[in-house]
A and B are shown apart, each in its own frame.
Chain A
Amino acid sequence: MGQSLVDVNNQISPAASTNDQIEKLEATIKALQHDNAKLQQQLEDSTLELQATVDEFLRSDNERKRLVNDIDEYIRVDLERQRLIKELQAAKRLAEENSRLKSEFLSTMSHELRTPMNAIEGFTSIMLSRMGGVEFNEKTERYITRVNINSKRLLQLINDFLDLSRVESGRLELAYQPFSPVDLAKRWQTEISILAEKKNIDFELILDPHLPETVYGDEEAISKVAINLLGNAIKFTEQGKVSLALSNGGENWQISVTDTGIGIPPHAREYVFEEFRQVDQTSKRKYGGTGLGLAIVHKYTRTMGGTVTLQSEVNIGSTFTVTLPIQTKHESVESKQ
């Protein structure tokens, strides 16, 4: 629109002839008509353009409205999420509180059960050792021996039961520390060779030279597993040998306990890991025990992120193999309960 339109006043001179004037006027009219058409066109163009702008505006307004809606929705979802988070946090606090109470209950129970048992065991052992100048006849000695043996059994049962409740309630708090698997195995050896000697069974410790010098783990929990397996191996073996082998499996390390004992028949190889289960009734009569040892082995191993397998042949012997992840730094193992 930079071009100026026809200047009517300047184009029509008073001195010109009528024809001239008419021509001029016609020309002017033509020019005007032309301009008008042009204007018309421009107006139409502008109108279209405006329409487009308006359309665009309306479109983007819709867009904006949609955005606003989206934002509203987003805020609503966020509020909902915050509410859910609060609810979950409350539930978590409750669960933590419950688990704390459970753990407190367990530790109180444990203390209350053990205290009188410790006294019974302590005093009967003193009597049997004739300490403090006690005197009694043979019959009394026999009875006190029974009390002493039974108090040991009950204490063992209480300990097993509490070990098991701790792992079942998820309260087995693993204390991860660096330790030497070789040193640990030697400590088990000291404890177990006393039992082996008593039964005239050989005890052998086999150490893989490629064992890591240190691994991270809970020595006490691992010991619980190993001592239970070693105790069983001695208990269910009348002659021959019990061997403890530690080996390195790359990502894992393994504790294998092999005996030359009575073995476990195929049908029993799964259920012996359940609580209070033994191969059969004769086992209880002959060997005593309550059937909690292997349940402890199984649950503690699983809590440490490991596995336990059993190979056995009746009257030939059994091998229990515990595989534990090698951890070289402190990392928590997710409990696979």
Chain B
Amino acid sequence: MTRINIPADLLSNWDIVVVDDEPDSLEVAEIILDAYGANVHTGTNGAEGLEQVRKIQPRFIISDISMPVMDGWGLIHELKNDRSLMDIPAIALTAHAMVGDRERAITAGFHNYLTKPLTAETFIYDLLKLLMDIPELAEHLNI
């Protein structure tokens, strides 16, 4: 019911960086975003994510919070302290149980958060709701 009005080219040719240490989770996000036309670039920790963000300059970033090497907090800190990256919206991925992480994510500089599991039924719908709040992205959405 949630996919009804979302066109398949919603994110046509958008570069998006997704960061998660769980390969399955990363792949699920990749397949779904790809189904809506996006070019998905991945990283398996904050440091890899940061490298991708520097290279690609994506439209937006989706990042898991707890990861080895550099976690989501480390990543958002690096992004917000770099003039050339600070304006790229970042969305946190939080686990269901992480009471407090959500508020903390927004305080740390994430635009908003999405809760796992990411599913074909809800992910794009929830993401779209968040993207509509970001004027510079909302105007480029193919809807």
Contacts and interface: CB of A to CB of B under 8 A. Distances in A.
Interface of A: 107, 110-111, 114-115, 117-119, 121-123, 125-126, 128-129, 131-132, 155, 159, 162-163, 166, 172-173, 175, 177, 194, 198, 218, 220-221
B interface, by DSSP: helix, strand, loop or mixed? loop
Given A119-B22, A126-B32, A194 B1 contact: yes
A13 B92 CA distance: 130
Contact of B119 (A125, A132, A162, A173): A125
Contacts of B24: 115, 118-119, 122-123
Contacts of B121: 125, 129
Interface in B17-44: 22, 24-25, 28, 31-32, 34-35
B59 to A, nearest CB: 20
A132 B35 contact: yes
Contacts of B35: 129, 131-132
Contact of B96 (A114, A123, A194, A198): A114
Contacts of A132: 31, 34-35
Contacts of A117: 117
A264 B99 CA distance: 32
Contacts of A218: 99
Contacts of B96: 114, 159
A121 B117 contact: yes
A177 to B, nearest CB: 7
19 contacts: A118-B28, A121-B117, A122-B24, A122-B28, A122-B117, A123-B24, A125-B119, A126-B31, A128-B120, A131-B34, A132-B31, A132-B34, A132-B35, A159-B97, A166-B97, A173-B99, A175-B100, A175-B103, A177-B103
Contacts, number: 76
B95 interface: yes
Contact of B120 (A107, A111, A126, A177): A126
Contact of A111 (B28, B95, B118): B95
A119 B25 contact: yes
Nearest to B99: A220
B116 interface: yes
Contacts of B25: 115, 118-119, 122
Interface in B79-97: 95-97
Contacts of B28: 118-119, 122-123, 126
Contacts of A162: 97
A117 B22 CA distance: 12
A319 B53 CA distance: 52
Nearest to A197: B1
A117 B117 CA distance: 8
A121 B119 contact: yes
B5 to A, nearest CB: 14
B53 to A, nearest CB: 24
A159 B117 CA distance: 12
A114 B117 CA distance: 8
A118 B116 contact: yes
A129 to B, nearest CB: 4
A254 B31 CA distance: 44
B3 interface: yes
Q: Of A111, A114, A122, which is in contact with the most chain B CB atoms at under 10 Å from its CB?
A: A122
Contacts of B97: 107, 110, 114, 159, 162-163, 166
Given A114-B95, A125-B119, A162-B97, 11 more contacts: A111-B66, A115-B25, A118-B24, A118-B28, A118-B118, A119-B24, A119-B28, A122-B24, A126-B31, A126-B119, A132-B31
Nearest to B28: A122
A162 B98 CA distance: 11
Contacts of B116: 114, 118
